[in-house]
Structure 1
Amino acid sequence: MEMTPMMQQYMAIKEQHPDEILFFRMGDFYEMFLDDAVTASRELGLTLTSRSGDVKKNPMCGIPYHAAESYITKIVNKGYKVAIAEQIGDPKAKGLTKREVIKVITPGTILEESALQSANNNYIALVYETDEKVVLSGADISTGECFYGVYTGDDRLQALYDELYRIMMPELIILGEPSFLGDLKAFIDMRMAACAFTRIEEPVKNVDDLIIQHFDVNNRPAGRSASEAVATMLGYLHDTVRTDLSHLSQMTKLDFANNLVIDTYTLRNLEITRNLRDGGKKDTLLDVLDFTDTAMGTRLLKKWLEYPLINIGQINQRLDAVEELSSDFILRGELKTSTKSIYDFERLLTRIEVGSANARDMVALRTSFMALPAIKNLLEGRKSQLLQKCHEGIHLYEDFVNLLNRAIVDAPGLTIRDGGIIKEGYNEELDEYRKISRDGKQLLQEMEEKEKEATGIRTLKIGYNKVFGYYIEVRHSGTELVPDHYVRKQTLANAERYITQELKEFETKILGAEEKIVNIEYNLFMEIRDTIKAKLGDIQETAKHIAVLDVLTGLAEAASAYNYVRPQLLNNGQIDIKDGRHPLVERILTRDLFVPNDTRLNHTECEIMLITGPNMAGKSTYMRQTALLTLMAQVGSFIPAREATISPVDRIFTRIGASDDLVSGQSTFMVEMNEVAQILKYATRDSLVILDEIGRGTSTFDGMSIARAVIEHIREHIHSKTLFATHYHEVTDLEDDLIKNYCIAVKEKGKDISFLRRIIPGSADKSYGIHVARLAGLPKAVTQRAEKILEALEAEGSRAEDIPLTKKQEKAKAVAEPNDMMASLFGNSISDELLGMDVMTMTPIEAMNTLYRLQQQAKEEAGRG
């Protein structure tokens, strides 16, 4: 098929971007063709058309360029990549307009404000396997963050998966051909189905150049494989974003030596930053503690919750600041009032860096700068080290405030190419052209009145559009009065448009001024942006300290609002909590009071709490509570308790609840055993382990055996502080100097029971399962029958043959018994003969004859011969 020059140009560009949907600029539209058009029409709800008239052979669709952002956001959020091909030649020049791709937008590189959730990072990550090491590198170009981690040893893949689940990136780059590629894809499909994959065959060639370009000598990744991973990621970002990325200059190494490790299971089970229902923030620990006033603060709080500390000195620095703020209501209120005026510094600065900032961003920046002096003054002379560091790290930008006050209008438009963004009085040349433009509008009004008088056409009006310029519009009813020197320019449904020589001369003069105004404003804006860009690193430092202050103030507000107390941090291996409360559940309970409970775990008196009691009584809530309070303390937060002494733990493990992993084909029991295996493999003496109802996914004796063996293994080999809830009362005989029995207090009155939600020493003597079934609304006949069966089993030593029969079962048994008796009375001779046969020495014909004879004999004995 012969293609037009334009389609040849399209196909040449598309060949360079086969994996992206190509947005091909044509005038005021972005057009898509062929397979891209089919995909875009399906995902964006666009109508397919065709220049040739055959939609099936030559499909195309398009979107207005001024509305492209919303369409791009929608399709990128579905995991697609978009290449933007712009007209870079003069559209008015003869011949084919030159076009080329100016940027590629992917899920991990999108910068449109509407596409980014302010409280979440938008990470892109890269995985690279080399020399029995797995390297993870990542960045959020919207905030300027970069990180890398190197994982070795037998648990390297689990550590990698845990980190990927934490960062929850929308795009993952796979460098090379990792040996675990299949498992990695299965994990991504199961935990983050919206993640897009990008494959890169080998590291970039200019590794050292990219590392030196972005990071100073103190910020560079350690080791060649880490440098290759980081540089390849940076190379990909340069190839896609195609703009200045020098704001990616601070490198963080992921090193869990300084952090409490939270694996994927624990992060999910405890609902720390994402709930189990839909993965959202609602009803999570983050939701409860989030009193931050800035997007930067919310993102930092999320990081603190996912990476708690283990160093007591660092934890106490945070607690000191929270205590100082929580005890000063006036200071806290004034800080929050000022902080609320601060926009998302990090993303504002990124838009300035990459050249996508508009005048509204500058207004937001000015408002943010104006809030800083009050905050700095409020932090003057504070006692805690972190507040002192915030005071020192927050810089003032009075020169920028003055510049932006003089230059940018208070309510600018969205685009910087249409003018209307620079204030009067800022630039003399701009003011002169504006005067011409204003005078021109007056002249235009006078010209319209003059033409009305001269022609007698009262409905005549002078208008303007970008396509035809200025024109005189006359309704069809008045065309008979149109003078001969009017030249027809356009015919409309109910009017005609004309041009005159005088109007042409006016257009040249006025449009020259309008064009000059727009160009001058654009250039002035670029100068202002570049002036601020020169101090980007300094402003980024201020943004970081504002985020820290916001989190500390928010934690203090939570402590005050919820009546939290400061935990005491010690290194004696003890967790001692008095009247602890579950931070999430107590917020949800609006009508009932939450029943507080104590927890005392150590390596001398109670290493394992063995908790028995009925379901629904609160065992799981209590265990989660202990884990969450420990985690909150290590974050640097006050906690819901009367008092608490906590020794930092190195890891928190949880095995809670039942869930099928259907995507990977694993049953509830297999998921449970996988989680238990992880715990027994990696838990240490300094870990906190939460195990809930181990073994219930299999038979009673299997499950009880597994539960007992797990407890014994932890007791004899690991010695981690452990909360172990079980409905197998038989394991309570394990109580010794380090294993202590506890149960949920229950109040009984006849067949009615009340769960008191209180943890007390001792073991439960009943499971109360039938009581719970009754509360759940099972039919009365079912629960009554269950009670009879339970009584028989308890009385007869759990023999199945002692279970009382129902009336239907008794009737069926009476009918069946005569036949059963007959079979036992008359079947002995046949049985004796069968037992005496040597089957292995019989020929086939002998076997057939014998079987026929035995059948005849059986018929005679049964009276059927």
Structure 2
Amino acid sequence: MSARPLTADEDPRWIVSILPARGQGRQLGVVALDSDSATMRVSHLAADSPTYVNTVHLLAGATPPAVVLLPATSTTDPQVGMLVKALQANFPDATLVPVMRKYWNEQASYEYLTRLIIHSEDRLGTLTSCREQYYSLSAANALFRYLEHTHGIAFGPGTLRITYEPPEGTCLIDRDSARNLELVSNLLNKNSKQHLLGMLNHCFTPMGTRFVEELVNSEERFRAVRKALEPLKSLDLDKVVSRLLAPRRSAAADSAPPTRRPVPASANASIKGLALFSQLAASASADPSLRIAHHLSHLISLRTFLNAVPSLRASVENASSPLLLQIERALSDDRIDEIRAVLKGGMNDDVWNGAAGNRGGGHKGKGATESAMIGKHQRLFAIKAERKRLLDVARETYRENMTDIHDLCETVRDRYRFETLDLRQGEGFKGAAFVLRVGKDEWDEKKSELGRTGAINVSVKKNKVEFQTLDLMKMNARLAASEEEILIIEGVLEEIFEAITDKIACLYKCAEAIALLDMVAAFADMANKNEYVRPEWTDTLAIKQGRHPLHEQFRMSDGSFVPNDTYATDAASFQIINGPNMSGKSTLLRQIALLHVMAQIGSFVPAQYASFRPVSALLTRLSNDDNLEASLSTFASEMTTMSMILGTLKAHEGRTCLVIVDELGRGTSPDEGLGIAHAIAEEIIKAKALCFFATHFRELSITLPSRYPNVVPLHLETEIDPQQRNFSMTFRHRLRDGSTPQTYYGKWRCAAASSL
């Protein structure tokens, strides 16, 4: 990353700190600070495109930054290099400053925020929203440390106005809501796939794992898309492209001694003294043959994608959907065909067609061993020999060494009359050694004889014993040398890279298009199998015969699920739901929230008809557990969550929010709980949010509707049969108008029947 060093007299007024996630996730924490007005904005992007267009858009919406802080280690990450290029292109006047990784500390940052944030009504809501945002908190800590050490700027307690701003066009869902709604993990079993993401994730590609109407209505097109995606099941095109775009060095550069990039003379003295900031030279593997092996592996992965392009294009050809037409245009880029022609011209036909599984000679292994061997042979025989004469000689030597190793295995088998002896290659991307493997029982019978003839490096793995001989070790060394000789002849490889480097960036757009197509196909698959309907977007929340998606998919309860209708508008925005325990209140509330999430991410929903209103925040109070980690009782946890909800509603004033509250006030006495529930309900009503409020306080169904015309009392139907000897209560799980007709849900009569 090239950036001029910051001088002490530069204006530090508008500073942005960005922490991108490592790997292919492309999560980002973005923190912007205006030191003149003592205002800080905290944002978190759950995902961005390969070109980081959303991050640039987020920064462009405010005052252009004067300084952008980035992790120093980002200089070695090719994926983050795209972010650096985007920042330099869109904000040429901004200074990019690398900060050492150890100063990106989320725990210290949360303590900073807690101490510095001003005491206002939305203070707790802001802190709750920021609490679990690792990347945003880490970015904030780096920003505070930067101001302290380079400009001597420090804020006093309660003097910094901090706001949490979700990206435009997104819906805010806090951590507790995501956990209680089981959006990405199961509450009871963290390893279980019984959650919303596990239910919807039927994607083939890793990109899809991270707009359905035409696919649902056209089963032929749907089958074509799924078939075209199947060859890409284990291919992460984002990762392949970022690795291919990474800086490459020649063998001569690898053999040269490492050099340190000089520090400019104009660098700030305080930066030097504290070693807070660093300039890192791009590093490459010390082993050039290993680097070339990785490059070949990426090219072979790219070949897999290029071979799948024709069927992908055919699957979306002549589509009428604007979304599928956009995907078709991305896949029809002429540069893709140019890259395909270059690779096909430089690769062996067997490798290009995926048929180079056993070019090295000898016997095939099984399972993972066979897969690793096939991958190695594809790398070693990928480049056409006629383009480099020495390649043919090196490969012939490799074949001879492989044959010698297999002949040695047969010799040992015949000499000691082994029935279970086989040859296995160890793990490793390059140069993995072969070992002889035999059953433990046979080893126990003949180990003394083998020991006298030179069996070494003996290891027991379950019911197998692995060992080597001196001859085998010598052959392994010769095999590794011949493999390295093949890889080091890289002239043709460099020619291929030079021919495709200026075209390969178009594959980022292809990766996005394939990910979107994969996601749409997964949604269509779910909708077809479960008779989901396409939701409409209006100013009304209306669901006819809605079903809980997780209960329906994973059979979480015995018997058939009872669907329910839901209807909410501005004239009926606050709905109180009564019902005894086990009547289905919590299930209904979670069902409404989950259907809204499914609709807002573009999926069909389980219902006969569904209409939704886009919401800017989904806020829930569902759990009644205490919080030992934060030293909060059940009541204190309730009040903390409700304070966050009310603060968020105030911050989202003028926008629609969906609030789900389940049995508020249970953590204290009934009289106090009733008063608190009544007061909080009034604040939610005044905020004009859509709210579903389940409660045991029957009085709320009387007092609130009499004061507010937009309050609607509802109850879940329950039948009590006093004629039964043991007192029968039947739960119908159907939502009815009005408050429950049962005073205390018949508990007094239940107690009387039980002689209490």
How does the TM-score come out when normalised to structure 1? Answer: 0.53
From 335, 350, 356, give the equivalent of 2:242: 350
Local SS of the residue matching 2:635: helix
Residues 407 and 423 in structure 1, CA contact (< 8 A), matched pair in contact too: no
**How do 1:298-697 residues align onto structure 2 when only pairs under 5 Å count?**
298-299=209-210, 318=211, 322-342=212-232, 343-354=235-246, 357-394=294-331, 395=333, 396-397=336-337, 398-399=340-341, 400-406=343-349, 408=351, 410-411=356-357, 420-422=380-382, 425-426=385-386, 427-435=388-396, 494=453, 514=482, 517-529=485-497, 531-570=499-538, 572=539, 574-589=540-555, 591-604=558-571, 606-683=572-649, 684=653, 686-697=656-667
Count of aligned positions: 530
Matched, 1:758 2:734: yes
Q: Alpha-carbon deviation of 1:755?
A: 0.7
- How far the C-alpha of 1:534 sits from its partner, in A, is 3.9
How many angstroms apart in 1 are the aligned matches of 2:129 and 2:679?
33
In structure 1, distance between residues paired with 2:405 and 2:590: 75
SS in structure 2 of the partner of residue 382 of structure 1:
coil
Of 393-402 and 129-138, more deviation after overlay is shown by 129-138
Separation (CA, whole Å) in 2 of partners of 1:328 and 1:387: 13
Q: Which amino acid aligns with 1:740?
A: V
Task: Give the C-alpha shift of residue 651 in structure 1.
Answer: 2.0
| Cα pair distance change 1:173/1:770, threshold 3 Å | farther
Taking the aligned partners of 1:128 and 1:417, their CA distance within structure 2 comes to 50
**Residue 579 of structure 1: CA displacement?**
0.8
Shift of 1:273: 2.2
Q: How much does 1:622 deviate? A: 0.9
Amino acid aligned to 1:282: K
Q: Is the 8 A contact 2:215 2:524 kept in 1?
A: yes
Equivalent residue for 1:284, pick from 195, 208, 212: 195
- 1:390 Cα deviation (Å)? 0.1
* Identical-pair percentage: 27
Which stretches in structure 1 are left out of the alignment for 5+ residues? 1-105, 112-119, 153-169, 208-252, 300-317, 447-465, 468-491, 497-506, 775-782, 790-865
Q: Distance in 2 between matches of 1:393 and 1:740?
A: 49
Cα 1:646–1:519 shift into 2, 3 Å: closer
Distance 2:404 2:176 in 1: 74
Name the counterpart of 2:472.
none
Query: In the alignment, is the contact (CA less than 8 A) between 1:690 and 1:722 conserved in 2?
Result: yes
In structure 2, the residue corresponding to 1:663 is in which secondary structure?
coil
* SS class of match (1:536): coil
Return 5+ residue gaps in structure 2 as ranges. 1-18, 63-100, 117-126, 151-163, 247-290, 358-371, 408-429, 432-450, 456-474
**Per-residue deviation at 1:727?**
0.2
Contact 1:613–1:764, Cα closer than 8 Å, also in 2 = yes
For residue 717 of structure 2, give the secondary structure of its aligned residue in structure 1: strand
Relative to structure 1, is the Cα distance of residues 378 and 493 closer, same or farther in structure 2, using a 3 angstrom cutoff? same
Contact preservation (8 Å) 1:128, 1:174? no
Secondary structure class of the residue paired with 1:676: helix
Deviations 1:535-563 (A, max 9, x none): 33111111110011111111111111111
Q: Cα 1:635–1:440, aligned 2, differ >3 Å: closer, same or farther?
A: closer
- TM-score normalised per structure 2: 0.60
Aligned mates of 1:665, 1:652 — CA distance in 2: 25
Q: Deviations over 1:748-801 (max 9, x none)?
A: 2231111111000121244777979x9xxxxxxxx8689566xxxxxxxxxxxx
Look up the equivalent residue of 2:590 and give its one-letter code.
R
Partner of 1:679: helix, strand, or coil?
Answer: helix
Largest Rg, 1 or 2: 1
Q: Distance in 1 between matches of 2:406 and 2:669?
A: 92
1:690-769 correspondence runs (5 A): 690-715=660-685, 717-733=686-702, 734-736=704-706, 737-750=709-722, 751-766=727-742
- C-alpha contact 2:570 2:710 (8 A) present in aligned 1: yes
Label 1:171 to 1:265 Cα distance change in 2 as closer, same or farther (>3 A): farther
Decide whether aligned partners of structure 1 residues 379 and 421 sit closer, same or farther in structure 2, where only a CA change above 3 A counts: same
Contact 2:391 2:489 in 1 (8 A): yes
Residues in 2 aligned to 1:277 and 1:758: alpha-carbon distance in whole angstroms: 27
- Distance in 2 between the 1:516 and 1:760 partners? 75
Q: Distance in 2 between matches of 1:581 and 1:180?
A: 43
> Secondary structure, in 3 states, of the residue corresponding to 1:728?
coil
DSSP-derived class of the 2:294 partner: coil
What is the CA RMSD across the aligned residues, in angstroms?
Answer: 5.0
Matches within 5 A, 1:177-216: 180-181=111-112, 183=114, 200=142
**What are the superposed Cα offsets for residues 802-821 of structure 1, whole Å, 9 maximum, x if unpaired?**
xxxxxxxxxxxxxxxxxxxx
Q: Which amino acid aligns with 1:732?
A: S
Q: Separation in 2 of the partners of 1:740 and 1:513?
A: 79
How far apart are 1:679 and its partner, in Å?
2.0
Residue identity opposite 2:701 in structure 1: T
Q: Higher relative contact order at CA 8 Å, sep ≥6: structure 1 or structure 2? A: 2
Deviation at 1:702, TM superposition (A): 0.3
Letter in 2 for 1:268: R
3-state SS in 1 of match to 2:202: coil
SS in 2 for 1:688: strand
8 Å CA contact 1:123, 1:138 repeated in 2: yes
What is the deviation of 1:337? 1.0
The answer on whether the counterparts of 1:363 and 1:404 sit within 8 Å (CA) in structure 2 is: no
Structure 1 residues 415, 653: closer, same or farther in 2, change over 3 A? Answer: same
- Tell me, yes or no, if the aligned pair for 1:614 and 1:727 is still in contact at 8 Å: yes
2:158 aligned with 1:268, yes or no?
Answer: no
1:415-468 CA-partner distances (Å, limit 9, x unpaired) = 98998343564433312444577789999999xxxxxxxxxxxxxxxxxxx99x
SS at match of 2:604: coil
User: 2-side partners of 1:177 and 1:191: how far apart?
Assistant: 13
- Deviation track 1:587-631 (CA, whole Å, cap 9, x = no partner) reads 232752111111111122x22111101111111111121222222
Deviation per CA, 1:35-80: give whole Å up to 9, x if none.
xxxxxxxxxxxxxxxxxxxxxxxxxxxxxxxxxxxxxxxxxxxxxx
Looking at structure 1, the residues matched to 583 and 111 of structure 2 have their Cα atoms a distance apart, in angstroms, of 43
| Cα displacement (A) at 1:511 | 9.9
Q: CA deviation at 1:664?
A: 1.3
CA distance in 2, matches of 1:641, 1:418: 50
- Assess, with a 3 A threshold, how the Cα gap between structure 1 residues 333 and 391 changes in structure 2: closer, same or farther: same
